[in-house]
Amino acid sequence: MAGALAARPALARWRGCVVPLLALLACELAWRAHPMQSDAVAPPSAVLRALVVALGDGSLARATAQTLLASLGGLLLGAGGGLLAGVLLGLSRPAAASAGLLIELLRPLPSVALIPVAMLVFGFGYRLEIAVIGFAVFFPMLLLAHAAVRTVPARLTEVSAVLGLSLTAHVRKIVLPAALPRLFVALRLCVGIALVVAVTTEIASNPQGLGYALLSAQQSLAPDTMLAVLLWVGCIGWGANAGLLAVERRCFGAMQVGGGAP
Amino acid sequence: MSAGAAQLRAVPVTGSAAALISFDEVGLDFGVRRIIHRLSFALRPGEIVSVVGPSGCGKTTLLRLVTGLLRPTRGAVHRDGRPIDGPARDVAIVFQDYANALLPWRSVAGNVSLALEAAGLPSAQRPARIAALLAKVGLAPHADKFPRQLSGGMQQRLQIARCLAQEPAILLMDEPFGALDAMTRQDLQDEMLRLVRESGTTVLFITHDLDEAIYLSDTVIALRANPGEASSLARTFPVHLPRPRQQLATREAPEFLRLRRQAYDYLLETH
């Protein structure tokens, strides 16, 4: 019984791989049937070979570390600041009212438009990238954290007032735990944004990380390496999301079963 | 203590000088809507007073005035002769919607702990206090469960345990048993009476159930909806029924039936 139940999702997961694998196989066969010289595409086998080479010589690992480090720095700064500001605005209506206009003015600015400015201020390197990523994730985190705090049941705030909890105890023991499932969704969103902006910044101007690896493969007319890096970037994004999802299920799965938390 | 007594003498109090809580000509408006008008009554220590009345007559508002979460527009609510200016740790409130008032991410013990943490009790002393409180309300075997794993009656017991953890001088109850089935409600009524008698807590109990109000109380207060120029306090019914009360014997007593008839007639008349 348990075996049948376990087998079904596993089977479904493998079924999902059938179409992509068939498509890759078709590409490979088509390439073999009509080999051509191209600066833009390469057969799956060549891409796989390039991926193995890049993984083997450590260049991909170094680039990955650079991109992830910059993303992490940007997330800590931007999402951390956004969380703080969002919680503050969620707790205080006057603060939310007075910051509203400023936020609405700054928020629509595309973060990548800040690259030239950030480059002048910080030069190349981590600081440039962290600043741009930080700006990109600050506003989504701020808005979602604000909304998450506003959804904390009024009854719980009342309980906290009647018990005489201090403001810090109220935030630590009532607001943050109540908002945590929503804050985690916000974090997942911000991680996705951070990776996109990191790679974009590296392609546009910052000579480090996966984006730059992609760019230099393109410029040295090595489509197999370029596509290998692209594939790898996809894997990183997928892996980050899957990891966060697993953490989310582990931490809040039990809470959502009973409908205790929204 | 003597300073408190001096304060009592210094501030004039309407009604009994021994009043724990006194409403003095209290009025409250929400915008242009008048909720409460010229309400005066006193709550003596150890007394159980129930408030009944049609919905929208300001029953819940009355409780919020005692917690200090809400200030009156006119008049004043006094505690020991001093105006109430904010929440006090020894004023506890049991809400009707226990599911919203409990923290779903904390265990049964953790929910009781919240009140002890708020009171600043050192963590080493908490487990013993929690165990004692849970034993009092019959939740000792469920200390590690989460609120969602409990029945409605048990969740309400848990909320009561959290309120008892505040060692309240005044227990405010806002239709606490309204969402429970009849048997559970009777169990909890008796349990509440027992706990309150043990600790000598003063209770202000809001309900829409006249039988419940008479069964539990020393005094039943009927409020008027849309008071206009009249006082919100429509009528006071003193209840002279012996304690401890018993679900069958008390409810069959001629005095209970007389009061019930009187109160029902009165409420029907005023609708």
Measure in Å the smallest separation between the Cα of B210 and chain A Cα atoms. Answer: 26
Residue-level length of chain B: 271
Q: How far is residue B199's CA from residue B222's CA, in Å, rounded to a whole number?
A: 27
Tokens, residue B262: 């009187």
> Tens of pLDDT along chain A (262 residues)?
444 555 566 777 788 889 989 999 999 999 888 888 887 888 888 999 999 998 999 999 999 999 999 999 999 999 999 999 999 999 998 999 899 899 989 888 898 899 999 999 999 999 999 999 999 999 999 999 999 999 999 999 999 999 999 999 999 999 999 999 999 999 999 999 999 999 999 999 889 999 999 999 999 988 999 999 999 999 999 999 999 999 988 887 655 433 333 3
HEC assignment per residue over chain A: CHHHHHHHHHHHHHHHHHHHHHHHHHHHHHHHHCCCCCCCCCCHHHHHHHHHHHHHCCHHHHHHHHHHHHHHHHHHHHHHHHHHHHHHHHHCHHHHHHHHHHHHHHCCCCHHHHHHHHHHHHCCCHHHHHHHHHHHHHHHHHHHHHHHHHCCCHHHHHHHHHHCCCHHHHHHHHHHHHHHHHHHHHHHHHHHHHHHHHHHHHHHCCCCHHHHHHHHHHHCCCHHHHHHHHHHHHHHHHHHHHHHHHHHHHHHHHHHHCCCCC
Q: Which residue of B has its CA nearest to A162?
A: B87
Half-sphere exposure of B216 (CA within 13 A, CB side): 35
Mean pLDDT of B231-237: 83
pTM of full prediction above 0.90: no
Cβ–Cβ contact B151 with A under 8 A: no
Kindly determine whether residue B101 and residue A164, on different chains, have CB atoms separated by under 8 Å: no
- How many other C-beta atoms lie within 10 A of the C-beta of residue A3? 7
φ, ψ at B211 (rounded to 5°): -60, -45
Kindly determine whether residue B67 and residue A162, on different chains, have CB atoms separated by under 8 Å: yes
pLDDT digits (tens, 9 = 90+) for A46-60: 999 999 998 999 999
Q: How far apart are the first and last CA of chain A?
A: 32
Kindly determine whether residue A155 and residue B101, on different chains, have CB atoms separated by under 8 Å: yes
DSSP, collapsed to helix, strand or coil, labels residue B143 as: coil
Mutate to test the interface with B, among A162, A170, A175 (most CBs of B within 10 A): A162
Which residue carries 């969380």 as its tokens?
A: A83
Partners of residue A183 in chain B, C-beta under 8 Å = none
| Residues near B56 by beta carbon (within 8 Å), at least 6 away in sequence | B225, B226
How deeply is B121 buried, as exposed, middle or buried, from its count of CB atoms within 10 A (0-12, 13-18, 19+)?
A: middle
- Which of A156, A158, A260 lies closest to B69 in CB terms? A158
* Contact (Cβ atoms closer than 8 angstroms) between residue A39 and residue A221: yes
Strands ordered across the beta sheet of B48-52: B91-94, B170-174, B202-206, B48-52, B219-223, B233-238
- Which of B89, B101, B146 lies closest to A159 in CB terms? B101
Measure in Å the smallest separation between the Cα of A262 and chain B Cα atoms. Answer: 11
CA quadruple A165, A169, A171, A175: dihedral sign: negative
Q: Which residue has the higher pLDDT, A183 or B228?
A: A183
- How many other C-beta atoms lie within 10 A of the C-beta of residue A207? 11
How much is the pLDDT for A8?
64
* Contact (Cβ atoms closer than 8 angstroms) between residue B11 and residue B78: yes
Measure in Å the smallest separation between the Cα of A175 and chain B Cα atoms. Answer: 11
ipTM above 0.90, yes or no: no
CA dihedral in degrees (A234, A237, A240, A245; nearest 10)?
Answer: -100
For B219-251, give one letter per residue: b (16+ CB within 10 A) or e.
Answer: bbbbbbbebeeeebbbbebebebeeebeeeebb
Kindly determine whether residue B104 and residue A261, on different chains, have CB atoms separated by under 8 Å: yes
Kindly determine whether residue A260 and residue B146, on different chains, have CB atoms separated by under 8 Å: yes
CB contacts under 8 A, A 169-228 vs B, are: 169, 173-174, 177-178, 180
How much is the pLDDT for A256?
47
Half-sphere exposure of B193 (CA within 13 A, CB side): 20
Provide the angle, in degrees to the nearest 10, between the axes of the packed helices B126-136 and B108-118: 120
Measure in Å the smallest separation between the Cα of A173 and chain B Cα atoms. Answer: 8
- Which of A155, A162, A261 lies closest to B87 in CB terms? A162
Q: Which amino acid is at B79?
A: R
Which residue carries 């419940």 as its tokens?
A: B212
pLDDT digits (tens, 9 = 90+) for A134-156: 999 999 999 999 999 999 999 99
Tokens, residue A108: 């629509």
Kindly determine whether residue B100 and residue A153, on different chains, have CB atoms separated by under 8 Å: yes
